[in-house]
């Protein structure tokens, strides 16, 4: 419950204010993730999968194509098998087929509790989607507001998308920074409140 979070951060008026804002927006629960430098990517991946599962359970598909292009399987190296499994489950969630989609989502979350390789696969997927942002054209539904400014900021700070990827995105355990956070939201078609 979100009240537990408020008690944990009772010493910080700023945290209490933010937690109150979340409660007013209707948030009731929190999910903790391991804070190992991959925590943002893991949290976003889990939230995205949970949202897809919730839509599938209601028999609805996302409002727009969620992933414009899946990364190549070869990019996942020893996690290729987990990546295939993840893609199959996400595919079933994107095209809800009643109880089968709900069961696939439930099995995925149960597996995530015990399978460190699948957990890492989700982290790698989100990191790869951030990098893919620089190599794909604007989605079919049109460019998103601020898209060019994010690319310009990354280019100004790092000189190239390749340097940004090598220094900030690909190294496992490297915490996400501003551009990665904004890009992940755009790539998954989700709204993020920071």
- The rounded distance, in Å, linking the Cα atoms of 109 and 50 is 8
pLDDT at residue number 194: 66
pLDDT beyond 60 at 5: yes
Count the neighbouring beta carbons within 10 Å of the beta carbon of residue 82: 21
Count the neighbouring beta carbons within 10 Å of the beta carbon of residue 21: 11
Those residues whose C-beta lies under 8 Å from the C-beta of residue 23, and which sit 6 or more positions away, are: 2
Q: How confident is the model at residue 124 (pLDDT cuts 50, 70, 90)?
A: very high
- Of the chain, the percentage scoring pLDDT greater than 70 comes to 88
- The rounded distance, in Å, linking the Cα atoms of 33 and 14 is 21
Q: Which two tokens stand for residue 108?
A: 């995925």
pLDDT at residue number 33: 79
pLDDT at residue number 137: 52
Helix axes 80-94, 39-57, angle to 10 degrees: 40
Positive or negative, the Cα torsion across 70, 43, 109, 103?
A: negative
DSSP code of residue 11: T
Question: pLDDT tens, 125-156?
Answer: 999 999 998 877 544 444 445 557 888 889 99
- The rounded distance, in Å, linking the Cα atoms of 167 and 142 is 29
b/e per residue 147-178 (b: at least 16 CB within 10 A): beebbeebeeebeebeebbeebbeeeeeebee
- The rounded distance, in Å, linking the Cα atoms of 86 and 89 is 5
Positive or negative, the Cα torsion across 25, 26, 29, 34?
A: negative
Q: Which two tokens stand for residue 193?
A: 């409140």
Mean pLDDT within 83-93: 88
pLDDT at residue number 139: 43
Tell which wins on pLDDT, 180 or 147.
180
pLDDT at residue number 142: 45
Q: What is the pTM of this model?
A: 0.82
pLDDT at residue number 141: 43
Tell which wins on pLDDT, 36 or 98.
36
Question: pLDDT tens, 15-37?
Answer: 899 889 888 988 888 877 777 88
Mean pLDDT of the chain: 84
Mean pLDDT within 68-97: 87
């Amino acid at each position: 419950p979100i009240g537990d979070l408020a008690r944990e951060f009772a010493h910080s008026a700023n945290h209490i204010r933010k937690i109150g804002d979340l409660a007013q927006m209707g948030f009731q629960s929190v999910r903790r993730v391991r804070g190992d430098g991959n925590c943002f990517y893991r949290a976003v991946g889990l939230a995205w999968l949970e949202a897809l599962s919730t839509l599938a359970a209601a028999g609805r598909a996302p409002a727009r194509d969620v992933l414009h292009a899946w990364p190549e399987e070869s990019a996942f190296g020893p996690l290729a098998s987990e990546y295939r499994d993840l893609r199959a489950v996400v595919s079933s969630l994107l095209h809800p087929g009643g109880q089968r989609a709900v069961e696939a989502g439930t099995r995925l979350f149960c597996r995530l509790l015990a399978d460190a390789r699948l957990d890492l696969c989700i982290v790698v997927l989100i990191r790869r989607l951030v990098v893919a942002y620089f190599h794909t054209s604007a989605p079919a539904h049109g460019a998103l507001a601020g898209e060019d400014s994010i690319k310009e900021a990354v280019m100004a700070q790092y000189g190239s998308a390749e340097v940004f990827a090598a220094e900030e995105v690909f190294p496992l355990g490297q915490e996400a920074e501003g551009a990665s956070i904004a890009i992940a939201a755009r790539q998954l078609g989700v709204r993020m409140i920071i």
